[in-house]
Copies of this chain bind each other. A is one copy, B any other.
């Protein structure tokens, strides 16, 4: 059965929809927290559930290297391995292969690269990326793409795009042939209670493969990329190759220029964005899904996102501030702790600092999108 993406209401270009995945019904527009190596850094899974996160990301490159996708398959898939009963999206590994590997070697067949962990040699092809993502048991897998660097001249972007399009076809062919080898219905016994119960609602749903639009910062290449991917008929489309160092105005422009070429009745996902005001803006332009390490990574460095703007919680001015991190926020951190305490935890390098800062930042991002969704419905 193909992806069920039901648009409930539109407002301008923005859409309020429900996307039914094998492990969760996801309300869009949605922000997806990043759980790089089978953990949204520092946050226990039950707190993610309390934050009403319905879908999180896993990184194919990282999980392939450690603990390995075959191990995760034997453990019943990533949902069960990490005890996350709701939906999971995995990237293709392409972005990390390119961003973490100075010595990669790209051929038509795929990419040879060295592990950033131990320098060992590895090879990713579109087929291999699909195999890994199927082993992980993602609800949404992503086609293997080359993430074009920034800046890239036209010829470079053109060649890279052509490769990505051929890889998209190979990804789709391999994925469609093997997507029923998902691990989650095979797994029996062991831990991860709740994973099966919840999944039972969606039995029979299959994993989905999204295509990724590339083309650098060139409008005609983006259009060509989108049109050719749409011909291949993916259940959803991502706009990739952004947040690679380009100015923010350019990010917005590329998104605006690409969206019209993506089908209105399928989910549209912008990868790797962004600040709170950006995700609101992109949702208003008709983007349905976004992900970014920003809220989690910034939290670990003491940067909090709040209704009053960004707070650097390390700042001395918060040393005796008895107010909550964000007076408008009702997350478990803002209900219980003060800025003074969060500053102290950061200054004393206490591990609880990362936990509390991250929970708040994710609460802020998820609440931001909840308000966007309410705004579309409420008018």
Contacts and interface: CB of A to CB of B under 8 A. Distances in A.
A41 interface: yes
B356 A320 contact: no
Interface in A30-57: 37-39, 41-46
Contacts of A83: 336-338, 341
Given A191-B324, A337-B83, A352 B39 contact: yes
Contact of A350 (B39, B322, B332, B340): B39
Contacts of A67: 319, 340, 344, 347-348
A128 B66 CA distance: 51
A351 B41 contact: yes
A194 to B, nearest CB: 8
Contacts of A39: 345, 348, 350, 352
Q: List 10 A-B pairs, minimum CB-CB distance, nearest first.
A: A190-B322, A42-B351, A191-B338, A39-B352, A37-B348, A39-B350, A67-B344, A83-B336, A351-B354, A41-B351
Interface stretch (A74-82, A95-103, A131-139, A175-183): A74-82
Could you say how many copies of this chain the assembly holds? Answer: 2
Interface residues on A, range: 35 or more
A41 B322 contact: no
A71 interface: yes
Contacts of A189: 322
Given A37-B350, A340-B75, A323 B191 contact: yes
A350 B296 CA distance: 13
A24 interface: no
